[in-house]
Amino acid sequence: MPKLFPLSSPLLQKSIFIALVLLILLTPYLDSATALLAGLVVGLLLGNPFSTHTDKASNILLKAAVVGLGFGIDLHQVAETGLRGIFYTFASLAATMLVGLLLGKLFYTPKRLTHLVSAGTAICGGSAIAAMAPAIKANSQEISVALGIVFVLNAVALFIFPSVGHMLHLTQEQFGIWAAIAIHDTSSVVGAASRYGDEALQIATTLKLTRALWIVPLVLVSGFLFKSEEKKLRIPFFIVLFVLASVLSTFLPAVAAVSPAILVVAKKGLLLSLFLIGANISLSALRSISAGPFWQGLLLWLIVSVTSLLLIYGIG
């Protein structure tokens, strides 16, 4: 696997790799972008000493993490968003996927990468990409590029959204709805909304949880669209477990009591899987990627952000 600064000692390579894994698992301050960046440092600069094993491990870990994230979905809280919230969610999701797929054709982006970027923008960023990737059989390169695009735009939104909201004098409700629709990851939605106000935070969080549930039907539809020569659609088992986890966490008090602990483990698993995905990327693979996917993701995000803001601002 080509890298910029190969280390001559396999023992040193393995030591650095293991140290980074332990840092991800034991440090509570690392986020998804940092985990992916650490993996890219290994894959591109230092060399992945476990490359024959990490590709399969990252795929298994991704699925397990997605199942664990299901324990963080409270169906009662999702139901509180009401018909208006459901309408906003479905309309924006469908429109985002449609525009994203059209932009993919415009920028000649590979189909699976287009689908990942569109799903990440439409639903909940990295979590949606993680859930979608195994269903459409996306490779490590496609997953890493999609996640990288989403993480960059997330960081930008976290800082500029509250400023725009104050400048336009958006109400707490308006900002909460806008943040849930236009910001990718739940963590960034929470971060931006918390800076705007408590009511905005509550609205944004519940709407974002509602959007997370759309992972299930979208993954099923995507699996059907990307199926190869199979005559029957196979429902990904990890998606079934994701739904089961949310149901158990919502309706069984005993499960709900341990759900926060499971969610912590799942988030750590997601961070580790992102690290492994980054470690699987080679310099030669990155060189084969054009700038098209980034411009596609940026343009899609701007269209979603501006359009949803205009609609919410006008309706409000």
Q: Which domain holds residue 109?
A: 50-246+289-315
Domain-embedded: residue 64: yes
Domain-embedded: residue 16: no
Amino acid at 283: L
Domain-embedded: residue 150: yes
Domain-embedded: residue 262: no
What pLDDT is stored for residue 168 in this prediction?
Answer: 92
Cβ(189)–Cβ(208) below 8 Å? yes
Cβ contacts of 118 within 8 Å, gap of 6 or more: 96, 97, 99, 100, 101, 104, 300
Q: What tokens does 86 get?
A: 């459901």
What pLDDT is stored for residue 285 in this prediction?
Answer: 60
Q: What tokens does 180 get?
A: 């849930």
What pLDDT is stored for residue 287 in this prediction?
Answer: 64
* CA R_g for the chain: 19
What pLDDT is stored for residue 252 in this prediction?
Answer: 93
What pLDDT is stored for residue 205 in this prediction?
Answer: 74
Amino acid at 305: S
pTM: 0.68
What pLDDT is stored for residue 6 in this prediction?
Answer: 53
Q: What tokens does 144 get?
A: 């890493």
What pLDDT is stored for residue 155 in this prediction?
Answer: 74
What pLDDT is stored for residue 218 in this prediction?
Answer: 86
All residue ranges of the chain with pLDDT < 50 are: 1, 229-231, 233
What pLDDT is stored for residue 85 in this prediction?
Answer: 60
Domain-embedded: residue 55: yes
What pLDDT is stored for residue 8 in this prediction?
Answer: 56
SS3 307: helix
Domain-embedded: residue 204: yes
What pLDDT is stored for residue 233 in this prediction?
Answer: 47
CA distance 216 to 104: 23
Give the total number of structural domains in the chain. 1
How would DSSP label each residue in 150-211? HHHHHHHHHHHHHHHHHHTT--HHHHHHHHHHH--SHHHHHHHHHHH-HHHHHHHHHHHHHH
Cβ contacts of 5 within 8 Å, gap of 6 or more: 45, 46
